[in-house]
Chains A and B, each alone.
Chain A
Amino acid sequence: MNDESIWDWDTAWAVLPDLLQGLVVTVEATVIGMIIASILGLLIALAMRTPTRWVRGPLRFVVDFVRMTPLLVQLVFAWLLLVDIPPLAIGFGVLGVHYATYMSEVYRAGIEAVPPGQWEAATALNLPRGRTWRAIILPQAIKNTLPGLGNYAVSMFKETPFLFAITVVEMYSAAQRFGANTFSYIEPLTMVGLLFLLVSYPTSLLVRRMEIRLA
């Protein structure tokens, strides 16, 4: 024990392939989760604009419910309930739905930020409602939502270790597994942290630049 230091480079190199494999799953979960969140979030935002109370009311409740309960609990709950579905697919779905509730707010704000004059010009040109949404309102609204989308992608990326709880082998669980087999936790976990930083920091810088450019 006497010449053993805290950090061992051989261990670090040994775990790297496992971690990189885990990173692939992590990125995959983030990308697919964000795709679901972007589409579902937009649908929620649009449904919230319907004048019918009995659509908005229940939807509001579901959205609040999802937003006010922890992601971890939702993951485990869905995993226990949906036994026939592979854990990774459950992970994509729960991450997507969870973040869709946040994205719907981003879309709502983006839609409301389109000046009323745009709607008025569309009316003055007698454009049908559907065409107004597709050709004028949404392209401008979605441009407004890009920074929000980027921020949530970074935050979803950082929350993927929760997938560990439902047996998905992403980067964090790969590190845990390696630790359990070798009793070396410091190197794998340090490197997990560094790999997360390596991906999320440049991404967040990119998002910030996008924010400045769009402002």
Chain B
Amino acid sequence: MTSTTAGDVPAIEFKDVVKRFGDNVVLDELNFKVAKGDRVTLIGPSGSGKTTILRLLMTLEELSGGLILIDGDPYTHEYRGDKWVEIPEKRRRVVRNRVGMVFQQFNLFPNMTVLQNIIEAPVHVLGKSKAEATARAEELLEQVGMTEKRDFATNQLSGGQQQRVAIARALAMDPEILLLDEVTSALDPEIVADVLEVLRNIAETTDITMLLVTHEMAFARDVSNRVLMFDHGQIVEEADPETMFTNPSHERTKEFLKAVLG
């Protein structure tokens, strides 16, 4: 795992990011950086803006102000002189290719088989041949333990199986950055471990930069090297997981951890 070294271009940089929904300010001039290969867990009470950060990074929400840089490249907006302008979709697509996401509700395409779900984007976005994409998909299916479900319809799978396919689907695009949005929250407790095991394996065998929002504190402690505690759209505390979970310094963090860890 690489850690933040001065002078390196960060994988992700938020500069004075503002996000409003109507009058509700969710993120208020937020600044933070994520170094390449970092595994960052975002924690904090609901409504603190964690998921919004992931959704902004996936361009599922529009910025209200500020900049997001991926590898130093402006992503959705940039300054031309003093003017804050939107970057057209064509240029966004280039940067978006480096980012992948796994959702709480899996969001597999129900009109496609497991394999079709995985090869759809490699074929139609990356321009891979069907054979090449299929070979890679089979590797990934093996990695997530779903080889025998290759030709199944998605509605024949359990939630945990669907999520493992969704992880394979995201990885098939070879993202530099992987966003994990409460990926185990919709799963029955007994399946959570399987999905976390898959993710742990990916964390150990790749150098993908990961940003995760999770309520699984033990998992966060396991895979992440940095934890950011959010409240009201601001980072209130930042530490390595060991420190954050055993010896938090901020009052708000102590309260929050006490509430979730019991």
Contact = CB atoms under 8 A, between A and B. Distances in A.
Contact of A143 (B99, B103, B111, B121): B111
Interface string B93-136: 10011011101010111111000000011001100000000000
Contacts of A197: none
Interface residues of A, number: 17
Contacts of B125: 125-128
A118 B101 contact: no
A68 B77 CA distance: 46
Given A126-B93, A126-B96, A126-B173, A121 B59 contact: no
A74 interface: no
Residue picked from A115, A125, A128, A143, most chain B C-beta under 10 Å: A125
Q: Per DSSP, are chain A's interface residues mostly helix, strand or loop, or mixed?
A: helix
B196 interface: no
A125 B59 contact: no
B169 interface: yes
A124 B120 contact: no
Contacts of A124: 58, 60, 99-101, 103, 170
Interface string B221-260: 0000000000000000000000000000000000000000
Contacts of B111: 136, 139-140, 143
Contacts of A125: 100, 120-121, 125, 169-170, 173
B121 A127 contact: yes
A115 B170 CA distance: 19
A125 B107 CA distance: 11
B254 to A, nearest CB: 35
Interface of A: 115, 117-118, 120-121, 123-128, 131, 135-136, 139-140, 143
Interface of B: 58-60, 93, 96-97, 99-101, 103, 105, 107-112, 120-121, 124-125, 169-170, 173
